[in-house]
Amino acid sequence: MSEANPAAPVVIVGAAMGGLRAAESLRRSGYTGAICVVGDELHAPYNRPPLSKEVLATEVTHDAVAFPSRAGMDDVEWMLGVRASAVDLDARTLTTDDGQVQPWRALVIATGLRARRLDFAPIAGRHVVRSLDDAMGLRAELTEGARVVVVGSGFLGCELSATASKLGCSVTIVTPSVEPMIRPLGDLVAQEMRRRLNVEGVEILSGVTVAAINGETSVESVELSDGRVIEADVVVESVGSECNIEWLEGSGLDLGDGVLADNAMRAVTTDGVARDDVYVVGDIARFPNPMFDDVPRRIEHWNIPTDTGKRAGAVLAAWLADDGSFDEVVAKPFAPMPSFWSNQFEIKLQAYGLLGLVADDDIRILEGDLTEQAAVGYFRDDRLVGVLGIGMKAALLPYRKQIAEGGS
């Protein structure tokens, strides 16, 4: 039963893909009332993955990555360049950094992640890549012959290395990991990725961290934990991310890792109560996915903001409609298939499921040859929970089906 102020809008905090999909889903599900989207970036929602790949290699513009606008979205209010600073779940208000207090009828939390930074002096030449503005800033410095140190060897770091290398930069990856992308991919595949990146001319210094970034006003060199010093013009920090949850502190929501949600994407309080009027979508949402088990997890894959945004929008629209459909919509199965892809030089990776759930000895080659094309299976308790294609696509589809159906 809806008891909120019906004159107040649904407020969506976060104007990236997850917030957009939630707004679209509210409209598609029949909600015609007011929607207000608050976002700290000045740009309308855009697609982030090309920022480390295609777009960074060519020209970085908002047009090149903007999501198309959809019917029914014309009357959505966008408050861009505004940051949420606090929320009151009892009074149903949001406070923003420009001092405004915005009442809401329902709240969607979609503030996502930000790039983690290394803790050194802020001099020119230090970059992260999370936003369009980040990518524009980095692109300007990736000139031919530039010496680039990429810190971190996850997917983002490896993609950025490949792109910078293709632009004519000399690239060194510095990473505390033993092998690149080892955490999601496992030891065997990660070793092969190192071999391929080395063949392309990317040097990988593993088992080391950054001790210092030297330079008065701009980067001159990077000092490593083993004492080595590498001359550099540009440092790209791809050392993971942090959840944008500060504005939710003290709200009573469970902020253990991101924001806890139930399978209907309703936010859960520290008392274990799911709120019908507060939803969580995207990277920041820690939610259970019955495709795998009942353990709530955050999933930082590209498809998750879309899947969770659609789910939250449909459930919230049913609650707002107050037409008796709510319980039925909540009970509908929701088990999104995590998927990601990564392009590095000619290496084309594509994956379904949760590869990171699996120990090294439960990773098996299903088809092909690791040094050429392969499909790699990730098993938990003999159940297929993830599949990785190296240069393989259609061949993955039966495995995807197997994962979706419970993996046996």
Partner 1 sequence: MIKIEVDMNQCQHYGQCVFEAPDNFKLNDDDKLEYVAEAPDSERDNIEAAVDVCPMQAIRIVE
The alpha carbon of 384 is separated from its chain's Cα centroid by a whole number of angstroms, namely: 24
How many CB atoms are closer than 10 A to CB 366?
Answer: 18
Residue 49 lies near partner 1 (rule: CB under 8 A): yes
Q: To the nearest whole angstrom, how small is the minimum distance from the Cβ of residue 217 to partner 1?
A: 38
Residue 7 lies near partner 1 (rule: CB under 8 A): no
Q: To the nearest whole angstrom, how small is the minimum distance from the Cβ of residue 355 to partner 1?
A: 17
Structure tokens at 216: 């008065």
Q: Are 264 and 274 in contact (CB under 8 A)?
A: yes
- The whole-angstrom separation of Cα 29 and Cα 32 is 9
Q: To the nearest whole angstrom, how small is the minimum distance from the Cβ of residue 40 to partner 1?
A: 23
Residue 166 lies near partner 1 (rule: CB under 8 A): no
Q: Are 115 and 34 in contact (CB under 8 A)?
A: no
Residue 244 lies near partner 1 (rule: CB under 8 A): no
Residue 111 lies near partner 1 (rule: CB under 8 A): no
With respect to partner 1, which residue has the nearer C-beta, 120 or 302?
Answer: 302
Which position among 204, 259, 384, 392 is part of the footprint of partner 1 (CB under 8 A)?
392
| Residues contacting residue 295 through CB under 8 Å, at least 6 positions apart | 288
Residue 367 lies near partner 1 (rule: CB under 8 A): no
How many CB atoms are closer than 10 A to CB 287?
Answer: 27
x/- mask, partner 1, residues 29-48, rule CB under 8 A, reads: ------------------x-
Residue 380 lies near partner 1 (rule: CB under 8 A): no
Q: How many chain residues bind partner 1 (CB under 8 A)? A: 26
Q: Are 73 and 24 in contact (CB under 8 A)?
A: yes
Residue 343 lies near partner 1 (rule: CB under 8 A): yes
* Amino acid in position 44: A
Residue 397 lies near partner 1 (rule: CB under 8 A): yes
Stretch that binds partner 1, among 107-115, 180-188, 219-227, 299-307 (CB under 8 A): 299-307
* Amino acid in position 24: E
- By the 10 Å C-beta count (0-12 exposed, 13-18 middle, 19+ buried), 405 is classed as exposed
- The whole-angstrom separation of Cα 154 and Cα 367 is 25
Provide the binding-site residues for partner 1, judged by CB under 8 A. Answer: 21, 28, 47, 49-50, 54, 65, 67-68, 70-71, 302-303, 306, 337, 339, 341, 343, 348, 350, 392-395, 397, 400
